[in-house]
With several copies, the nearest count.
Chain A
Amino acid sequence: MTQLMNENGIRCDGRRVDQLRNISIKVGVLKNADGSAYIEFGKNKILAGVFGPRDVHPKHMANQDSGILRCRYHMSPFSVTERKNPAPSRREIEISKVIKEALLPAVILKDFPRTVVDVFIEVLQADGGTRCAALDAASLALADAGIPMRDLVSACAAGKVADQIVLDINNEEDQEGQADMPIAYMPNLGKITLMQLDGILTPAEYQKCVQTGINGCKLVYEIQRKALMDKYFTNEAQ
């Protein structure tokens, strides 16, 4: 059993309770996708690519009144310690659904009836908090593809470790900690679009945990904005 926090409140990877892991994001990394982003969030390494709006196959899935959003979250076989079977697991299918429902509040698909926007996410290396990191990249890939959006979606987990509410749970804290609460948030609209919880929290801890997560999302948002600007400034400079 790892000691998850020392007497000075420093976590097993050296962070303070309210500190994010290192995050670096690059927008527009793929040639074929209409929009894309690559994120390194701690040791997570995740690619997101977006195609669309484009025709829906099979056709009966199309909606006459609006575009639809589809999402596939997938892990490469080498992304985790034990080799993962390449076929999608039940966990991956559920995460695909909650990610889709976390992005839906942000995208505006009314003007693209009978089309689909496909969001494909590939986890190349996983390290705790993949769904949040995946969402951060997917949100930017949608923006990069030019899909109209009400807001970016920023995501970050909070949790409970060594009886403390902490920001951005890493892999060890997820395995051996007391609670993990992934949150996705639209910072300008003030809306939580993904929220899950595994673990036990008192009502007071619950409130603090949500608030901590939202604060983390706001920090992530600034990094996302910068990544987006980096791409478009660079383009304009050319």
Chain B
Amino acid sequence: MANSVILAQLKREQILELLKEGKRLDGRGFEDQRPLSIDVGVIPKANGSARVRLGDTEIVTGVKIQPDKPFPDLGDKGILICTAEILPLADPNTEPGPPSEEVIELARVVDRGIRETEMLDLHQLVLIENKSVIGIFIDSSITDANGNLFDACSYASVAALLSCTVPKYEIKDEAPVLVEGVTSKPPVKTIPVSITMARIGDHIIVDPSSYEEACMDARLTITTNTEGNICALQKGGIDGFTFEQVVRCSEIALSVGTKIRKQLEKLM
């Protein structure tokens, strides 16, 4: 333990030294993301799926679509549920068991990114108001955890949704029945893009690696929509941001997000 603390301290000093010279440990510019690859349809048994690699972070996300009961007081909307699991094979520090607070936060931030941008028109997913709706389950299995799970998980979830086919259900005897062979595109209204930034000292860097996360002061995840609005935020980390820094972060999120959105739009 003591050793790893000293190592982390040394690593932080090294990273800070480089940042002062405008450099990052892996040679990226401050606003560069690691290489992003997105493969869709990797799980044919799911209604939609994607494998995302963001640097060495890798995630497989599957979308399952099936009839369900609506939430109380939300009988005019379909159901949308995001979950995530850091598989124990993805990270030597993860143990099997109930989700940690880190994983619960991750799944909820990804969920809000999709929900608050109003990416999907959930009103189109109602079969009988207050009784029967379509449920969309977006489950992410993190297979290699190497920094910035927020963005990787968001991209995988959005890509799996964009590429999914929605089965058709009809109501017979008050119960939903699958109509074989008929599917439609999901009711997508906008494309959310999550950009996570870390503050280390006075420097704001995009898409932190696991080394950078280990020594960052604070973290900010900003999700924007196609129209250039800011729709969801999550601050994390052991320190804070100034007003100027959070304004700067929003500008970075909008500019960097545009590139990612183009990559995602191709999947529609």
Contact = CB atoms under 8 A, between A and B. Distances in A.
A32 B88 CA distance: 10
Interface residues of B, number: 68
A98 B235 contact: yes
Chain A's interface: helix, strand, loop or mixed, by majority? mixed
B5 A64 contact: yes
A27 to B, nearest CB: 14
Interface in B167-186: none
Interface in B42-61: 42-46, 49, 56, 58, 60-61
Contact of B101 (A65, A97, A197, A214): A97
Given A86-B83, A203-B254, A94 B96 contact: no
Contacts of A50: 89
A8 interface: no
Given A77-B83, A214-B243, A101 B236 contact: yes
B242 A190 contact: yes
Interface stretch (A13-21, A119-127, A162-170, A222-230): A119-127
Given A30-B89, A101-B238, A197-B233, A122 B141 contact: yes
Interface residues of A, number: 69
Interface stretch (B20-28, B120-128, B224-232): B224-232
Given A43-B44, A78-B63, A195 B146 contact: no
Chain B's interface: helix, strand, loop or mixed, by majority? mixed
Contacts of B95: 57
B45 A80 contact: yes
Contact of B116 (A49, A78, A86, A200): A200
Nearest to A77: B139
A78 B83 contact: no
B54 to A, nearest CB: 12
A84 B22 CA distance: 47
Contacts of B60: 76, 124
A194 interface: yes
14 contacts: A30-B90, A47-B89, A49-B87, A51-B89, A78-B62, A78-B64, A83-B139, A88-B96, A97-B104, A122-B89, A192-B242, A200-B231, A201-B230, A203-B250
Given A101-B238, A122-B89, 12 more contacts: A33-B92, A43-B45, A65-B5, A76-B62, A86-B139, A122-B143, A127-B45, A189-B240, A190-B242, A192-B235, A203-B251, A207-B247
Interface of B: 1-2, 5, 42-46, 49, 56, 58, 60-64, 66, 72, 83, 85, 87-92, 95-96, 101-102, 104-105, 107-108, 112, 116-118, 137, 139, 141, 143-146, 220, 225, 228-243, 246-247, 250-251, 254
